[in-house]
Amino acid sequence: MTRTINPPEVVRVSGVRKTFVVRKDNSLKDRAVAFGKHRQHRQDFTAISDVSLSIYAGTTVGLLGANGSGKSTLLKMIGGILTPDVGSVTTRGRLAALLELGAGFHPELSGRENVYLNAAILGLTRAETDERYDEIVRFSGIGEFIDNEVKFYSSGMYMRLAFAVAVHTDPDILLVDEVLAVGDEAFQRKCMDKIRSFQREGRTIILVSHSAGQIAELCDTTFVLHNGEVVHEGDVREGLAVMRDIMEGRRIGESAEEERAQRTQPSAERALTVTRIETLTADGRPSAAFFPGDPMVLRIHVRAATALADWTTGFSIDNSTGQMVIASNTDRLDTPLPPIEAGEHHMDYRIDALHLGPGEFFINANTSPTIDVDTHVLWQGARFRMKGGEGNLGVVDAQIGVAAPSL
């Protein structure tokens, strides 16, 4: 009988809680006036609340969450930069952390001196750093600036050098917080190649990123945080869907004020209102699931308060992170709509073929008597899922083939 050997646990977070004190008297004058009443101007903020999780060797884990969800605080506790108020964090193996721009660098020291300082902080001896120094400098691309004080470095140079040191310390666990977006495109590709080589070598990577594509491409599993608590653990696509729901909820809340501003007139008095959005198949059947290459009919329902000789509509489709992937309107398409009477109406946009990658998408629609005048918008009025598309990642689908190599 073959026994399945589970990989060892390399990070264990047990019942962790972290609270910060937030001051509300930001100026010196505020503090002088509030002297003796300082507790009235302080507020406790719980960044992490009773979080427990395990991360296993050889996995690439994505920590997801909206801004303020606690993911960076959790990553800093795993990295030993912050200590929990309650609970414990234990790690196994050498750990390298890329959590903040140039963390562990001294601005008055040169790049060369900071390589040795940062490498020592990450656990290398001077002899080990000597062996790897040339490769660190080559990887960073700093070149002749290596002997300049790092306070004169650009943010990109800072991070390139910090990343180069971290990945050459032979870490068992690599913590990465949003730094893969730093630097030019060539360096980003170099970083991604290094991450993939770490994966092939069986190292553990814990990654914080707002890029859904990056998470889907690199990660084996995800933890989604919301208000300091883990609300999802496991499958990457499910984690991105949970993250999308959180972001869409926040987005709807943030757009509520904008929608209220639009409703300067009661809906009964507004000339035109979008009431509903439907997604249909080519033969008119309602559907919320499509495959790459499928046609779609996007039906926008409107209510007219009075007869109108002219009117316009438009739509946009967003991906799960709120990025607009396509948008159009009747003005752009140079397609005037016929006059309508007061009452309920609808009009259709026909998309001949959906060339979108796998995932969920959201549809917004707007209408107005004249383009961009008295416009009413229905946000996230419909959603649909693109299935299939296993051959590629991203928001675009394409037919990709592999030609036989010439030997």
Could you tell me which residue, 407 or 28, shows the higher pLDDT?
A: 407
* 112-134 pLDDT per residue, tens: 999 999 888 888 899 999 999 99
Structure-block tokens of residue 161: 């050098």
pLDDT at 33 over 60: no
pLDDT at 252 over 60: no
* 197-238 pLDDT per residue, tens: 999 999 999 998 777 767 877 889 999 999 899 999 998 878
Overall pTM surpassing 0.95 (yes/no): no
pLDDT of residue 57: 93
Average of per-residue pLDDT values in the chain: 83
Structure-block tokens of residue 207: 């990654």
* 203-214 pLDDT per residue, tens: 999 998 777 767
pLDDT at 398 over 50: yes
pLDDT of residue 269: 64
Structure-block tokens of residue 270: 């507004």
pLDDT at 258 over 60: no
- Percentage of the chain exceeding pLDDT 70: 82
Rounded CA separation 197/56 (Å): 18
pLDDT at 60 over 80: yes
Q: What is the dihedral of CA 179, 212, 58, 5, to 10 degrees?
A: 160
Least confident piece of the model among 217-231, 276-290, 319-333, 385-399: 385-399
Least confident piece of the model among 145-154, 361-370, 371-380: 371-380
pLDDT at 254 over 50: no
pLDDT at 39 over 80: no
- Other C-beta atoms closer than 10 Å to the C-beta of 221 total 15
pLDDT at 279 over 70: yes
- Percentage of the chain exceeding pLDDT 90: 40
Which band of pLDDT confidence, cut at 50, 70 and 90, is reported for residue 29?
A: low
Average pLDDT over residues 289-300: 94
Cβ–Cβ < 8 Å for 301, 275: yes
pLDDT of residue 210: 73
Residue 263 three-state SS: coil
pLDDT of residue 155: 75
Least confident piece of the model among 34-43, 314-323, 325-334, 342-351: 34-43
Structure-block tokens of residue 148: 């300049």
**DSSP letters of 296-360?**
EEEEEEEEESS-BS--EEEEEEE-TTS-EEEEEETTTTT-PPPPB-SEEEEEEEEES---B-SEE
